[in-house]
Chain A
Amino acid sequence: MVAIDVQDLRKRYGDREVLVGIDLRVECGELVAILGPNGAGKTTTVEILEGLTPRTAGEVSVLGHDPARGERGLRERIGVVLQQGGVETMLTCRELLDLHRGFYPAPRATDELLDLVGLAAQGDERVGRLSGGQQRRIDMALALAGDPELVFLDEPTTGFDPAARHQAWDAIVGLRALGKTIVLTTHYLDEAEALADRVVVLSQGRVVADGPPGVLGDRHTAPSRLTFFPIGGVAVRDLPVAVADDGVRWTITTSDPTATLLELTSWAVREGHELAGLEVTPPSLEEIYLEVTA
């Protein structure tokens, strides 16, 4: 089942083209992270999918609806956390959740929602008295009030401290466990790597990479690096393979890590050297990201 199907989506503000032909497919139950530098079109894309922004051209289907029509039937089935969404600070968490629950035909129970975002103890506190991270999580609880099939989270952890981020991640993992389809925008690569089934990278209004985080941009076949600390009394040119020296560590870049590793370690054993701090690392998501968005 396809939750979101987007073909050749374009958006123009005046003569500035912010989306230049986006193709995107999200299957039901998938957690897709949309990554990209600031201004890449992430928020514009999700706002079009949410029905908040009209598109200039292209085909968009969200749960079988065209979001541009603003149909209530679609809004009953989606949940949204906006990047700069406002929440009513004068109400208590419980009152605010009950207000939103009242808009949906089959809402989730208030206590369940508070539990899901880890705010069970704050139910009777005014939203304005919560910390920034807690307000963001109440926002997430509001998005879930109608028990939606599809959830949009636009940079849900921006500005969080590490502890709050991990709590939010737990909440998102909790959503996944409920079988929700989730579209998440973020500029944190570790967030995408930790949560997403699939990462879509946008740059300058285009999709420049699309795939599971482990294989994005041919990450699985891209050259790996062998690194270790310099060996005393040995020059780089004495080694059997090409080595780069950055003054701290020696690095060998290879697309054939198994054979290179064997060659390097056989040489070291034969010569009686220890390869202190030896590490073999595949290219990080960050390197791939920087490469595709460059």
Chain B
Amino acid sequence: MVALVARTFRYDQRTFWRIPQAAFFTVLLPVMMLVIFTLNDRSIDALHVAYARYLLVGMTIFTVAGASYGNLAARITWRRETGIYQRLRTTPMPAWAMVAGQVVSAVTVVLLTLSLLLVIAATFFDVALPTSWPLFLAVVALGTACCAALGAAMSTFVTSVEAVDPVVWATMLPLMFVSGVFQYVSDDSWVARVADLFPIRHLLLANMDAFGIPGSGDVGWHLAVVAAWTALGLLVAVRRFRWAPHR
């Protein structure tokens, strides 16, 4: 069982790193944004924190979403629509082995990118690391689970390989902007109220708490909303999953 997952994991990792665009958008983009945006030394007055510190909180969420939501939506759609899943289905490989391999692989990319972010932030920008590691890890774990489930769910609505990247970015980027991933969005704005309906802002606020930045509100509530989105994503993904391409 472990050997089988190890196989599908290695398979997914190999194919991931061999598509340079995927590696760039998932791993290098958040690192680059952190570096470029923090080069001018600003701060967020409303929160009394350095922008670099705030951005690290946001880039954590960006990484989690990109490497799980974006990554899984794209790769599930691509494997299904090119007939790779249909082909694998004729082999004795059980479906759970493929799912587990892809999820473990996504988690690996998340952890790797986050380590890179934290090391760069701490070394070159003198940004403090999380003040509560347990909460930080809980945010990363729950965030990855939630975004992975939503990515798998989203893949079931996309019927061609060409459509998947636009769909991923069109859903992910606006949500990140309104949720305050790049720039603080205050709680009393209507934008924040829209963002409150979705999981990204709740992940961001919970992560602010993990980094000791005030103004996050009720962390338990944030995590509960994310858990509910995870359950919804899983339900849709499992019910709508198909092996066969849409042609």
A82 at the interface (CB under 8 A from B): yes
B91 at the interface (CB under 8 A from A): yes
Closest to B244 in A: A52
**Selected interface stretch from B13-21, B64-72, B124-132, B183-191:** B13-21
A287 at the interface (CB under 8 A from B): no
C-alpha spacing A88/B18, complex, angstroms: 12
Partner of A72, one of B19, B84, B87, B92: B92
A146 at the interface (CB under 8 A from B): yes
Task: Known contacts A88-B15, A102-B7; decide if A52 and B86 are in contact (CB<8 Å).
Answer: yes
Q: Which residues of A contact B92 (CB under 8 A)?
A: 72, 75-76, 103-104, 146
Chain A 44-86 near chain B by CB (<8 Å), digits 1 or 0? 0000001110000000000000000000100110111010111
C-alpha spacing A87/B83, complex, angstroms: 7
Task: Known contacts A52-B244, A99-B7; decide if A82 and B14 are in contact (CB<8 Å).
Answer: no
Q: Which residues of B contact A103 (CB under 8 A)?
A: 4, 7, 91-93
A90 at the interface (CB under 8 A from B): yes
Q: How many residues of B contact A (CB 8 A)?
A: 25
A142 touches B87 (CB 8 A): yes
- The dominant DSSP class at the A interface is loop
Task: Known contacts A52-B244, A99-B7; decide if A87 and B91 are in contact (CB<8 Å).
Answer: no
Closest to A53 in B: B244
C-alpha spacing A88/B4, complex, angstroms: 18
Whole-angstrom distance between the Cβ of B14 and the nearest chain A Cβ = 6
The B89-137 residues at the A interface (CB cut-off 8 A) are 89-94
Partner of B94, one of A72, A80, A146: A72
Q: Which residues of B contact A78 (CB under 8 A)?
A: 90
C-alpha spacing A78/B91, complex, angstroms: 8
Closest to A74 in B: B92
Q: Which residues of A contact B244 (CB under 8 A)?
A: 52
A82 touches B90 (CB 8 A): yes
B169 at the interface (CB under 8 A from A): no
B216 at the interface (CB under 8 A from A): no
A3 at the interface (CB under 8 A from B): no
A170 at the interface (CB under 8 A from B): no
A225 at the interface (CB under 8 A from B): no
A108 at the interface (CB under 8 A from B): no
Q: Which residues of B contact A146 (CB under 8 A)?
A: 91-92
Task: Known contacts A99-B7, A103-B92; decide if A91 and B87 are in contact (CB<8 Å).
Answer: no
Q: Which residues of B contact A187 (CB under 8 A)?
A: none
Chain A 97-116 near chain B by CB (<8 Å), digits 1 or 0? 00110111000000000000
Chain B 1-26 near chain A by CB (<8 Å), digits 1 or 0? 00110010001001100110000000
Q: Which residues of B contact A193 (CB under 8 A)?
A: none
Q: Which residues of A contact B86 (CB under 8 A)?
A: 52, 82, 85-86
Partner of A52, one of B84, B90, B94, B247: B90
Q: Which residues of A contact B15 (CB under 8 A)?
A: 88, 90-91
A87 touches B19 (CB 8 A): no
The A132-166 residues at the B interface (CB cut-off 8 A) are 139, 142, 146
B82 at the interface (CB under 8 A from A): yes
Whole-angstrom distance between the Cβ of A117 and the nearest chain B Cβ = 16
Whole-angstrom distance between the Cβ of A75 and the nearest chain B Cβ = 4
Q: Which residues of A contact B84 (CB under 8 A)?
A: 86-88
B83 touches A82 (CB 8 A): yes
Q: Which residues of B contact A79 (CB under 8 A)?
A: 90
A191 at the interface (CB under 8 A from B): no
C-alpha spacing A82/B83, complex, angstroms: 9
A84 touches B91 (CB 8 A): no
Task: Known contacts A75-B92, A76-B92, A104-B92; decide if A90 and B87 are in contact (CB<8 Å).
Answer: no
B11 touches A86 (CB 8 A): no
C-alpha spacing A80/B93, complex, angstroms: 14
Pairs A–B under 8 Å by Cβ, sample size 6: A72-B92, A84-B245, A86-B87, A95-B14, A99-B11, A104-B92
Interface residues of B (CB under 8 A from A): 3-4, 7, 11, 14-15, 18-19, 79, 82-87, 89-94, 243-245, 247
Q: List 10 additional contacts besides A52-B86, A90-B14, A103-B91; criterion CB under 8 Å.
A: A75-B92, A80-B90, A82-B86, A82-B87, A87-B84, A99-B7, A102-B3, A102-B7, A103-B92, A104-B91
